[in-house]
Structures are given as structure tokens and as C-alpha cells.
Structure 1
Amino acid sequence: MLKGYYYINQIILHVGIGLGVYFFKPASKVLFLIVLGICAFSIIKAPPRKRYVYVLSACAYIVGSEVFFRMTSGNFLHEASKYLVVVFLLIGMLIGDGVNKKGYAYIIYLIFLIPGIIVASSSLNYDTNLRTAIAFNLSGPVCLGITALYCYGRKISIKSLQEVLMYALLPIISTTTYLFLYSPTIKDTLSGTQSNFEASGGYGPNQVSTILGLGVFLLAGRLFLQSKALFIKVINIGVLAFMTYRAIVTFSRGGVFVAFLIILAFIITFYFKASSRSRRRIFGSTFVLGIGVILTWFVSSASTYGLIDKRYNNEDALGRTKDDITTGRAGLLTNELNEFFENPFFGVGVGKLKELRLEKEGINAASHNEMSRIIAEHGIFGFVAFLILLLTPLLLRFRNKKNIYFYSFYLFWFLTINHSSMRIAAPAFIYGLCLLNVYYDKPSLHRKQVIKQRKE
């Protein structure tokens, strides 16, 4: 019960944070510094045996708050969240946690990113800032590599993992609160079926949709695993409905589709691991979740005059079917693969794709697909690096099948990098979590002791 009250209090606090930052935007920078201080202090002062939980919780909070700080101009550097995740993990490694020696594949992965930097130093245009180009394009992959090294094979209880996920969820609640205040009436922001910046807090709809989709999944996980009390269940369903609504009305489909697929993967995994008695509860929770999502969709449709239905049917505002359902992503993917075939050994260099696209097609657009970007910019080294990312978690899964979140985490990473690249730290960090060695506390020991005492 105490944990339930703590969770509710944290929700109230983070709703308040969203309110406070909206009415006094400079508070966002102050809040960023406070979060930075609290996270660093908690890691350093953490009990040695539990330090890894504090490290992961601090990183989770930074990941969950990244979009919030970006849209409210709270972070002092655009890639600050990725840098902080790397710093916190390195601190965790250096002051006692270390890394699993069997995770050497991720050291190879990081090493294979170096040739692309060397190529970029000579291939980028003279007026391009090399440091900025490298930081923008490699902060995500490096963040992923360090997270994977830290998490690979690390033992963590399911309760501790759920605590980490809670800290990722809380700042997303602040983001949702801020969005409702920023654009309370969606009808006033409509201009067609394209991605809606006004409904996304004035920030990138793709990134907002992605982080809200992650929040929806985390709430769904709590609904199935941590909502025994009716009051907690009602709170989670309510917050989930509000968050789903804000994700839908960004008009960015990627985050919503990913949320749906990883929730489905979680339910299927949970169902096959559960007892027959628990399966009945799973059906009940799935039914309630489904009804909530359907009602939320109807509200979204009504508040957008049906434009959201046309968006998901790949139609424009007049109901005409659009030629490209991928909104240009397929073309970018094809161009990047062509660059790889033309430069198969060392690639075109980190950050060079954007310049080539501008020179050849007059389009100033960054990649949406991390898979094609890494092989185009890094050549064969990038191809091998991506294979390491793709296969290592699956090989680890053969030896340890206890992480109930595994497939959801893995799919979130893979699907997100294919529609939003690694613009935010979330896919990198969530990828790392699927490498954890999750164990479950066994309550049977206490029952055996009671039975033994009764016999005596």
C-alpha cells in the first residue's frame, strides 16, 4: 500500500511539474539542473550492492524527460540527455559495477564506428562543423553501445526493473500535462492530415509521438503487473487514456503503431508465461485496455473532425489517397542503400549523407532510418556493427528467457530506429534493458517455513 501511495504522489508531483513549467518556462532550466544534481548524488551515495538500480533509474529518468526538456528549452545542449546517460553509466562502471566480460561484442561495435569518423574528417564539406556532425550522428549509437555494455547479462530483480521503468514513465506524465496546457483545443491547431507541431508542444511530432508511445506501453505494463488495487488500476487507465490521446493527435503515426505492437508482444509473452488462473485476469485487463483505447480513438476522431481517421487511412484532408504511405521515408531509405553500394568498404563518412542528399536532390533532410544510415555512412563496418546489435540480444535470449519485457524492448528499439532513427535516447536505453538478466523473487520459501513449523 505504501508503494501505491508513493506512486500516486509521484504522479501528482509530475503533473505539478508540467503545470509549473508551462506557466513559468524558465523553470525548465532550473529543473534540469535539479534533476542532474539529484541523479548524480543518488548514484554516488547509493549502497554498493544496489548501485546499478540507482544508475539505471537515473538514466531512465533522463531518457523519459528528454523530449520534455527539449520542447521547453530546459536542456543546455540538444544532445544533453544522451551525454548524461553515457556519463552516469560510466560512473557506474568505474565506481564498482564494472561490465560483463561476455559483452565484448559491444566493444567491437563501438570500435567499428571509428572508421566512419576518420572518413568524415576528409569527406565533409569545408564549412561543416565536424564536431557537431559527429555529435549529432553518433551520440545515439555511442549511447546504445555504452548502455548495452553496462546492461549485458546484469542480474536485476523484476521489482527493481519495474522501479526503473517507473522513473522513465514519470517525466512522460509531465510531458503529457504540458501538452494539454499548450494546446488544450486540438481543433484550433488543425491544418490538414500532416504531422501537427502545435499539438506536439511546438516540437517534433515524431519524437513526441515516440516518447508518448513508450509511456503508453509502460502504463500498460503496470496495468497488467502492478495494478492489483482497483484505485491504482483506475489511475493507470486514466493516465493511459490521456497519454494515448495526446500521442494520436500529434498526427505522427510511428510512435502509436510501435506502442500498439510492443503492447501486443508483451500481452502474448505474459499470457504464455502465466498460469491458467492468471490468464483469466490477463483477458480481463486486455478487455479493459481495449475498450479504453477504442473510446480514446473516438474522442480523438471527434476532436479532429475525422482528420485523424484520414491520416491513418493514408489520405489527405480531402480524402484522396496519398502516393507514399511512408511520407518520404522509403525514398530516403533507397538513397542511403544506394550510397552504401557505391561506397561499400568505408562508407561516405559520419554526417555526409545529409550533405549528399542536399547536393544531389536539393533536399535538406536527415535520415529517418538508423539501419540504412549506419551502413551508408560506415560501410561494411557499419553493416557488421548493425548485425551485432540485431543478433546479440536474440542469442542472449536463448540462454535466459526470464525477461518478460524482452520482446517489447527489442521491438521498440528496432521499430523506432526504422521510423525515427536515434534522435532521442529512448531506443538506445530501452535496447540495453532487453540485455538484463531478470530474476524473480521466490515467495515459496516463506510458505515452506510455515508448513515446517506447523509440522513441528
Structure 2
Amino acid sequence: LICVLAYITGSEVLWRQVRAPIFYLAAPYLFIILSGFAVLFVLQRIGRDGRIALLYAAVMLPAMAVTIGTTGAGAREIIAFALSGPLALAAFVMFTSQVRIDPWMYRRVLWVTLISAVGPLTIAVADVRSELAFAGKINFSGQSNFVTSGGFGPVQVSSALSLGIMAAIFLIITEREKATKILASVLSIILGVQVLLTFSRGGSFAVGIAIAAFALAQARNRRVRNGIFAIAAVSFALAYFVVFPWLENFTGGAFEARFSNTESSRTDLAANDTEIFANNFVFGVGPGMTKYQRLGYEVCQIRSDQCVDEASSHTEFTRMLGEHGIPGIIAIVLLMMLAFSAAKRAGPGRAFAIAWIAWAVAQMFYANLRIVAVPFAFGLAFLTLSKDPISAARSDPERSEPDELDQAEDSNNPAEDRVLAGMPSSRSRSLKLPRGRTTSNMTEDAAAQEVRPEEVGPEAVKPEEVEPEEVEPQPTESGHISERSEQATGTPPPYTGGPQTNPFA
């Protein structure tokens, strides 16, 4: 189920890029439905963190009455747009906080997350090639670019691609095979270049913050720390000497001007949210209503052209203040409690949990919960890993997933069978083959050395490992005890030969 939700994470932006015939909020609705179904019918319980997440969602519901009273029939779409993200986050946390997975399954989730980000990347690259083919160049300015974002919102595309970068970096650290490491490295570079080309700074900044948090969490592990520093050094050198000069030339000098500019309109929007909270501190102005505070909802309905430049809140924390009032403060506290709880309970995967939380919180400061990538990353921090993926990648490099033989051996208890307890296991009875060889290409001599289960007899078992069975002597028809019965019971048969002599005399 987590892999399905990971696929939906990248598909959401892809659907919006290509104008797919799927309703706009399909992804958060699917998160809520599938996670809720798993909690109610599969897990059939709600843990402590799940109850906190449920309370986080519940405290934001009273403000809906304000939106309904202001907009009437148009409230459904406005409320859904504002609260679908928080509700998806709460539902997903209720599910993942009760899930325990192995490192191999965790890597599979990362691969699905990375592959799902390739979809939006492909659309963005196709639009860039199309624009260059017809116009000969792309016009870059001091604002985010829709062409390099695949014709959709650069903020959301940048967030989706940066989530793929996070998955790629973690795969580089946890994967065992060199081929998969190389593939993840190549995809991370391509995704990183496209994130920078969107001119939306939030995606690249969020990745930097998350990786820094991951490095700090792994500071005590010298091997991991050195590996992270090596990756960071190579990435910095590649970016400084290759990527940045190419981007500067490709954008006509706009790249440096864009990323060196520290001004952002989000500070003005956040200040506006706090002012709205000061004037409406009880229940706020209602979900999705900060956009209509300057001109009013009625004016925007009549003269929509006058409200084109009116922007809604882009910072989730100030949005909760302005739109929910005092319950919004409670929601912020509960969200922070969930974040600290995820880092505390993570166990072997604590560094990964901290990185996911850092990425999600950074996105909340920049892009609200407009796409399900943010709830997905926040929920991944609550997964309980059975073992640290980094140490698991080095402990047994030849095997990554449990096979059927392991499951069969685990299901049998040799102590319950006295004969099986004294016999070698099925793994020890089979011939150990080199990698890449099968029994079909074995030589006759090697095949002859294989010990088959049917060939295992009393000689293959040590005498002390098998207890002799007690067999009662069976009398014959004449009433005498047979010679075979006496041998079975351990009593020597009567002597029928010549005179007995003592060999030690």
C-alpha cells in the first residue's frame, strides 16, 4: 500500500501537468481513503501517534463554519482545496505509525518514489525541448518559470522533483549493487538540474536542509559521516565547476540573479496572515479565505479579473493562524509533537526520519500542503524499520530479500521433531553453487557429490544426535523371543555355537 501511495505522489503532479481527465484533488482523496481503509479494516486500531494526528485534523474542522457562512454554496471547493492536504497527512500518519518494514522493503518504497518523480521530469524536459525547437530559446526572468516546469506550477513541480532527489540520495547510501547506485546517482543529477531550471528555490533549499539534518543525525557514525561528506564534496564540485556554469550560460545570466536574490513574496503573505489572525483570533477567517480579505469574496466572484493577483497563503503555519485562529495554534503544537515523536520512536532509522521531517517542514514553510508529496514525506518518518538500512546494506551483500526457503525453515520448528532435530538442515544438505551456476551446468563429479535428502541414512547422522527407539520384544508363534527382537532391544541373542572362551583370559 505504501508503494501505491508513493506512486500516487509523483502521479499527482504528472496528472496536473498533462491536464489528465482526473479531478484536481484525486491524490489527497486517495491518500485519505486508502490510509483510512488500512487503519479501519486491516490494522483495526489507532496508535498514540495516530490519535494525535486525528486530533490535529479535528481541531481544524470548526473553522469550516466561518467559510460556509461567508461563501454559501461555494464553500465545498474552497474548503476541500485548503484542508485536503492536512487531512491526507493525518490519515497517512495514522497508518504508517503502526507499520514495521524491513530494509529491503524500505528500499523498494524509495525506488517507487524515485520512479514516480521521473514522470513530471519527463514532461518538463519535453516542454523544454519543444520550446527550444520552436522558439529557439527560453525566456528567463527573476520569477519561477512555467516552461521548465512542464506548463504547471513551478513550486509544486519543484517540490515533487526534490522528493525524488531525496529518494535517490537515500538509495545511493543504502543500495548494495554498484549498478543501482550509478542509476540513482544519474537520476539525482538530472532531477537536480531540472529543479534549478524551474527557478523555484524551495525545492533545492528543502533538499539541502534535509541532507544537512541527515548528516547531523549520523554524526556519530564515522563511516556514514565520511560517506556523506564524500557525496557532498563530489556534488559541490560537480555543481560548482560543471552544472552552475552551464545553467548560467543556458539562462543568459538569470540563474545567478535568481538564486542570489533573498527577497520573497512569502514574507509579505506570512505577515498578512498574522495580521488576519490578530483581527480574527477565535476561529480565523475560515479555510481558504485569506485570499479574499482585501477585496472580499463577493467582489472576486463578480470581477474575477480584479483578483488575479490576489494570492493565498503559501506558509502552512501562518495559514493555520489566519484561517483557524486559536484552534490553528493547537494544530501547530500537535504537528510539532508528531514531528518530535517521529524522531524519537524511529529507532534504527532515526536519521532517515529526521531527514524526512526536515524536508516536509521546509516545504510547509514554502508551499503549504498543496501536493501530497509533503504528507507522504512526513508520514514516511513514522515507519518503524526492523534494521538500519545502512548497516543492512553491508551485513549480507549477497541477499537482499527473504526467499521461500527461509520462510519454509522459519515455519518449521526442529525441536518438535526428534528425527529432524538430528538431521542436517535443508540448506546444509544442498550443494553450495557459485554465483551464476545451476545444477544444469554442473559436472558429473560435482553432481555426484551432492547429498540428496533420500540418501541421508543412519550413516549421515551422528549416533549421539539420534536417540534409539524403544521396541518391545515380540514373541513368535512358539512363544520364544525372536533374534531380531532381542537385537532391537539391545539384549544379545543366546549363544548357539561351540564352547565359549574368554578372549581376555
TM-score by length of 2: 0.70
Contact residue 189 and residue 196 of structure 1 kept, 8 A = no
- Listed as ranges, the matches of 1:121-200 within 5 Å are 121-124=68-71, 129-184=74-129, 188-200=137-149
Distance 1:281 1:151 in 2: 29
In the TM superposition, what is the alpha-carbon distance from 1:438 to its structure 2 partner?
2.1
Return the alpha-carbon distance in structure 2 between the equivalents of residues 210 and 189 of structure 1: 22
d(CA) in 2 for partners of 1:101, 1:440:
21
After superposition, what is the alpha-carbon deviation per residue over 1:191-235, rounded to whole angstroms, capped at 9, x for unaligned? 422111111111111111111111112111111221x43333332
Structure-2 residue corresponding to 1:287: 233
In structure 1, the residue matched to 2:487 is none
Q: Distance in 2 between matches of 1:281 and 1:269?
A: 14
Hey, what's the Cα distance between the residues in 2 that align with 1:417 and 1:345? Answer: 23
Which amino acid is 1:210 matched to?
Answer: S
1:202 alignment counterpart = 151
Partner of 1:430: 377
Query: How many Å separate the matches in 2 of 1:383 and 1:430?
Result: 23
Per the alignment, residue 269 of structure 2 pairs with: 332
Distance 2:212 2:342 in 1: 22
Q: 1:307 aligns with which of 237, 246, 254?
A: 254
**In structure 2, what is the Cα distance between the partners aligned to 1:387 and 1:110?**
12
- The counterpart of 2:4, out of the listed 58, 63, 68, is 58
2:126, 2:160 → 1: CA distance?
Answer: 18
Alignment check: 8 A CA contact 1:194 1:251 kept: yes
User: In structure 2, do the counterparts of structure 1 residues 283 and 195 end up closer, same or farther at CA, with 3 Å as the change threshold?
Assistant: closer
Q: Are the aligned partners of 1:224 and 1:285 in contact in 2 as well (CA < 8 Å)?
A: no
Instruction: Report the counterpart of residue 233 of structure 1 in structure 2.
Output: 181
Cα–Cα, structure 1 residues 75 and 371, in superposed 2: closer, same or farther, change >3 Å? farther
Offset, 1:394: 0.5
Residue in 2 that maps onto 1:375: 321
Higher RCO structure (Cα 8 Å, ≥6 apart): 1
1:405-416 equivalent positions in 2, closer than 5 A: 405-416=352-363
Contact in 1 for aligned 2:124/2:147 (Cα 8 Å): no
User: Could you tell me whether the CA contact under 8 Å between 1:211 and 1:426 is conserved in 2?
Assistant: yes
User: Of the candidates 331, 341, 347, which is equivalent to residue 395 of structure 1?
Assistant: 341
The amino acid across from 2:205 in the alignment is: F
Alpha-carbon shift at residue 333 of structure 1 (Å): 0.6
Mapped pair 1:102 → 2:48: yes
| Structure ID, larger Rg | 2
CA distances 1:86-128 after superposition (whole Å, capped 9, x unpaired): 111122123312343313112211211210112211133x5x6
Question: Which of the residues 279, 284, 300 maps onto 1:347?
Answer: 284
Matches of 1:247 and 1:400, distance apart in 2: 30
Deviations 1:260-293 (A, max 9, x none): 2112222333343x3x445444443333333333
Counterpart of 1:418 in 2: which secondary structure?
helix
Are residues 260 and 280 of structure 1, via their aligned partners in 2, closer, same or farther at CA, if it must alter by over 3 Å? closer
> Structure 1 residue aligned with 2:368, among 421, 424, 435?
421
2:451 aligned partner: none
- Offset at 1:153? 4.5
**DSSP 3-state at the match of 1:405:** helix
Shift in Å, 1:330 = 1.1
Quickly say closer, same or farther: Cα 1:98–1:166, change in 2 above 3 A: farther
Q: 1:279 to 1:374 in 2, by over 3 A?
A: closer
Name the SS for the 1:188 alignment partner: coil
**Aligned residues: percent identity?**
26
Q: State the TM-score, normalized to the length of structure 1.
A: 0.77
Q: 1:279 to 1:373 in 2, by over 3 A?
A: closer
Shift in alpha-carbon separation, 1:251–1:399, aligned structure 2, 3 A: closer
**Do 1:370 and 1:421's aligned partners in 2 also have CA atoms closer than 8 Å?**
yes
Give the Cα–Cα distance (whole angstroms) in 1 for the partners of residues 368 and 274 of structure 2. Answer: 15
Return the alpha-carbon distance in structure 2 between the equivalents of residues 277 and 270 of structure 1: 9
Aligned Cα RMSD in Å? Answer: 2.6
CA apart distance, 1:141: 0.8
Hey, what does 1:219 align to over in structure 2? 168
Q: How far does the alpha carbon of each residue in 1:365-386 deviate from its partner, in whole angstroms, 9 at most, with x for none?
A: 1211111111211111111011
Q: In 1, distance between residues paired with 2:324 and 2:342?
A: 26
Secondary structure at 1:114 match in 2: coil
- Equivalent residue in structure 2 for 1:259, among 207, 228, 247: 207
Unaligned runs of 5+ in 1: 1-54, 315-323
1:359 aligned partner: 296
**CA displacement at 1:349 relative to structure 2:** 1.2
1:11 maps to which residue? none
Higher helix fraction: Structure 1 or Structure 2?
A: 1
Query: Residue 75 and residue 428 in structure 1: after superposition, are their counterparts in 2 closer, same or farther (change >3 A)?
Result: farther
Q: Distance in 2 between matches of 1:281 and 1:97?
A: 38
Contact 2:13 2:157 in 1 (8 A): yes
One-letter identity of the residue aligned with 2:104: K
Q: In terms of mean alpha carbon deviation, does 85-94 or 292-301 score higher?
A: 292-301
For the 8 Å contact 1:368–1:419, the answer to whether it is kept is yes
Is 1:114 aligned to 2:68, yes or no? Answer: no
